Structure 1
Amino acid sequence: MTKTTAAPAQKVDAALLRVAFILVLGTFMASVDATIVSVGIDTLAHEFDASVAGIQWVSTAYLLAVVTAVPASGWLADRLGGRRVWLVAVGVFLLGSALCALSWSVPSLIAFRVVQGLGGGLLPPTGQALLARIAGPARTGRVISVVAVVPLLSPVLGPMVGGGLLAVASWQVLFLVNLPIGAAAVLLARRHVPVVPPTHRRTPFDVRGAALLSPGLAVLVLGLTEVAHGRTLPAAVGVTAGLLMLAGFVAHGLRTGGTPLIDPRMFTRPPLGAAALALLVLGASVFGTTFLLPLYFQAGRGLSAWQTGLLLVPQGLGAAAGSVLVHRTIDAVAPRTLVITGVLLVLAGTVPFTQLDHGLPDSALAAALAVRGFGMAMISAPVMNIVYSRIEPQQIARASGALNLLNTVGGSLGTAALALVLQTRLDAHHQHVPAAFADTFWWVVALALLAAAGTTRLPRTRPTSRP
């Protein structure tokens, strides 16, 4: 048996940080765009003379396109190379953004949001996998700790940027703002991001798996969206059909002699199974809270999108501070220690929101948000480091797609479940908003406790170098 040793620390030099900055621009566009547009839903409904239920498809269509694109990211990167796929994804996202700004009706806007979502769905997993391949196992943790903070900042930056833009410009700017960022990312990537060759394995595309997985996820997310809107029959049909298709995909993945789009057996191998559970629950908690907090500040306190964004700033500051700590300690501290500490901080930062009906001052809410942000930054980067540092380079692209997919699905599950709980509590409290939100946040606490239980299965030791 070959003995493994702790991976020696390697310097994260300026060239690697430059590559990380360039690749994170794609994730920044994709994550912030969703929250920017959500702020402008009311404006879009007014401009197109559409109902709220109809215009909500602008957000739903984007999410469906994202979950459709993510499963294919690993195969595309293996076949064509991560850099090429990333550049194409940025181009598709920019094309969709430009077309959205040219929309003349709600159906056209929805169609163009699908184009945008297909590109946006490929950007985070492809960028993360490409960065992990370039950095190598010994530097992955520190560099991922820098880029992982971006999705945590999107709930803060989105409402502020969206509210500020709508205050001074027309709705088209919600989409045009992506063009200069994306153009800069493409130019910089072509110059500074090295080419990582595709894997030598020329596996055929898993057509049957794609026909089951991507549509199954899209139908499931659509059903969960209907749950959030209180439409019982479409929700039941969508959730049932989606789960059946996903079950069919799992059966196909276990039986096929080829390479499935996402191998279900991958989640039975440590540490990916425990990491997947952690990211699934984290997605439910983070995205669910991202749904609840702006809604409470705007519906419960009557604040504008801009004011809501300002109140969420402490969470972003906490996330930035947490990422600095993780960057400095991720190679010296066991990943499980960081992750469990982060989950406990998220739990501690969530408990005060269960007391919203007691008139908590803004200072207490700001402190709780800062603690939550700090804790969230201590979870995602160490979890991804655990996976990327312990699997072969040829498997990174598919593992990245799987982890991003679970995080997105977890977010959809959490949002739908918490929306249903919130509506139930509003009815029970006769529309007394603070009490209903306080009850709903107890469910967020339960998600954090579930995440804490799952993280105990993560590895106790630091990553080891490959023999």
Structure 2
Amino acid sequence: MTEDVAPPAERVDGQLLRIAFILVLGTFMATLDATIVSVGIDRLTEEFDASVADIQWVSTAYLLAVVAAVPASGWLADRFGGRRTWLAAVGVFLLGSVLCALAWSAPSLTVFRVVQGLGGGLLPATGQALLARIAGRHRTGRVISVVAVVPLLSPVFGPLVGGVVLGLASWPWLFLVNLPIGVIAVLLARRHVPDVPPSTRRTAFDLRGAALLSPGLAVLVYGLTEVAHGRTAPAAIGVTAGLAMLTGFTVHGLRTRSTPLVDPRLFARPPFGAAALALLVLGASVFGTTFLLPLYFQTGRGLTAWQAGLLLAPQGLGAAAGSVLVNRTIDRVAPRTLVVAGIVLILAGTVPFTQLGHAPPDEVIIAALVFRGVGMAMIGAPVMNIVYSRIEPEHLPRASGALNLLNTVGGSVGTAALAVVLQNRLSERGTDVPSAFGDTFWWVLGCCLLAAAGATRLPRGPAGADPPDPSPVGVRRGRPR
């Protein structure tokens, strides 16, 4: 054992794993719900006598609400405490789920999905920051490597779960399925998750930043979505307005003397900038591929939603295997080595999809998905460990919010951008649908190469080589007073 490895006293014990399991239930609900509804689009269209374009807003509204909520997660955790914010987010998410199940029309369902998305957007960021604070510097990498696999599994298994639910019950259960998970998570959290107090340094909420960042991101994603639908005027307005608002936020964040909602200077601090780029591209790769492949399987090969979900399952299995590998090596291997190796595996797993026009056999697709799954697991946890192990405990909520924002933006903007590319290639290719999808995957490959370039700037040494972590202070166990 080298001096860089966390000492036995810092091992991940059963109590910490129990806390991680409880907190990851919130992330599981939020990320699963982002995709579980996708297989119910046809059913909802019939139920509400609405067009596919109208029902598509059920998914888009949720995504936009998540993007809008993530930036505020750091301030809320600082102001009210990590556990209290997490519990409130679960409550909002469950309220939104019940309202969705009671929806009487497509517009009402869309509005209630916004409520659900606001809670869902807060859960991953606040849960990760709280877990990192409880674990301490030397245990963060190993525990994050376990929970970070959930966002990779949920988009893969969401369509499968949705298919099972619709096969056994009516459409409201797409949302009611969240209730038992959420109630159990709340009860367990109140009993077992330590009460981390709010930050002693109270800062005013950045109203101007919030008015620019969250709406700017939402408007940008909306504009890109409209581009994919071929609606030129709203697309141009959305993209232009979104970029202008994000530019305004950056200028505001650099000039303000108070604490900005997300500090743009963070991205100039090594290794945060390189880590941010890796997570941004990871989000685009994971959610972009999860968008493209089911669509290809159903439109290009005539499979059902259930069959398409089964073909995606190997990616989830690969991610689970990759998380085990990362858990055993994250404290001994340089983060850069793990991340670069993961990107190489994703590249190898993406190449076959650029050849969809030549109809690769199912065995090649399955092997490619396994490679991609293992590679994705080797990026997320090491990148988060780099940041969480090098930042002061009181700054964890805002750092976690920034990282989750980038992953969410990467997923939403990446998916919208790939939809635009796909629409263009379908127009060019005409009836050759598989080749159009193959052309689009070349863009996914390009994103991975960009991430590889950024990953070379990550630290060479293990995260455990950092100065010792001051013990997490101010953590009270048990029920809140």
CA contact (8 A) 1:228 1:415 kept: no
Counterpart Cα distance in 2 of 1:412 and 1:34: 11
Instruction: Give the Å deviation of 1:171.
Output: 0.5
Q: Does 1:313 align with 2:316?
A: no
Q: Which residues in structure 2 correspond to 1:124-273 (within 5 Å)?
A: 124-273=124-273
CA offsets 1:249-299 (integer angstroms, 9 cap, x no match): 111111111111111111111111111111111111111111100101111
Aligned position for 1:404: 404
Aligned position for 1:55: 55
Aligned position for 1:465: 467
In structure 1, the residue corresponding to 2:198 is in which secondary structure?
Answer: coil
- Which stretch of structure 1 is more off in the superposition, 15-24 or 231-240? 231-240
Counterpart Cα distance in 1 of 2:16 and 2:227: 44
Counterpart Cα distance in 2 of 1:245 and 1:156: 33
1:183 maps to amino acid: V
Counterpart Cα distance in 1 of 2:397 and 2:5: 21
Counterpart Cα distance in 2 of 1:130 and 1:382: 18
Aligned position for 2:6: 8
In structure 1, the residue corresponding to 2:332 is in which secondary structure?
Answer: coil
Q: Which residues in structure 2 correspond to 1:58-457 (within 5 Å)?
A: 58-457=58-457
Instruction: Give the Å deviation of 1:74.
Output: 0.1
Relative to the length of structure 1, the TM-score reads 0.98
In structure 2, the residue corresponding to 1:314 is in which secondary structure?
Answer: helix
Instruction: Give the Å deviation of 1:7.
Output: 6.1
Counterpart Cα distance in 1 of 2:358 and 2:212: 48
Aligned position for 2:474: none
In structure 1, the residue corresponding to 2:171 is in which secondary structure?
Answer: coil
Q: Which runs of 5+ in 2 are unaligned?
A: 470-481
Instruction: Give the Å deviation of 1:136.
Output: 0.5
1:376 maps to amino acid: M
Count, aligned residues: 463
Instruction: Give the Å deviation of 1:236.
Output: 1.1
CA contact (8 A) 1:25 1:181 kept: yes
CA offsets 1:384-434 (integer angstroms, 9 cap, x no match): 000000011111100110111111111122112211111121122112111
Counterpart Cα distance in 2 of 1:355 and 1:258: 51
CA contact (8 A) 1:93 1:117 kept: yes
- Which stretch of structure 1 is more off in the superposition, 5-14 or 318-327? 5-14
Instruction: Give the Å deviation of 1:156.
Output: 1.9
Instruction: Give the Å deviation of 1:228.
Output: 2.1
CA contact (8 A) 1:346 1:371 kept: yes
CA contact (8 A) 1:6 1:465 kept: no
CA offsets 1:97-153 (integer angstroms, 9 cap, x no match): 001000011111111111100000000000000000000000000000000000111
In structure 2, the residue corresponding to 1:379 is in which secondary structure?
Answer: helix
Instruction: Give the Å deviation of 1:466.
Output: 4.0
In structure 2, the residue corresponding to 1:378 is in which secondary structure?
Answer: helix
In structure 2, the residue corresponding to 1:88 is in which secondary structure?
Answer: helix
- Which stretch of structure 1 is more off in the superposition, 406-415 or 115-124? 406-415
Instruction: Give the Å deviation of 1:185.
Output: 0.3
| Moved >4 Å (runs of 4+) | none
In structure 2, the residue corresponding to 1:194 is in which secondary structure?
Answer: coil
1:62 maps to amino acid: Y
CA contact (8 A) 2:4 2:331 kept: no
CA contact (8 A) 2:156 2:290 kept: no
In structure 2, the residue corresponding to 1:236 is in which secondary structure?
Answer: helix
Instruction: Give the Å deviation of 1:235.
Output: 1.0
Aligned position for 1:25: 25
In structure 1, the residue corresponding to 2:399 is in which secondary structure?
Answer: helix
> Percent identity over the alignment?
77
CA contact (8 A) 1:65 1:114 kept: yes
CA offsets 1:298-329 (integer angstroms, 9 cap, x no match): 11111111111111111111000000000000
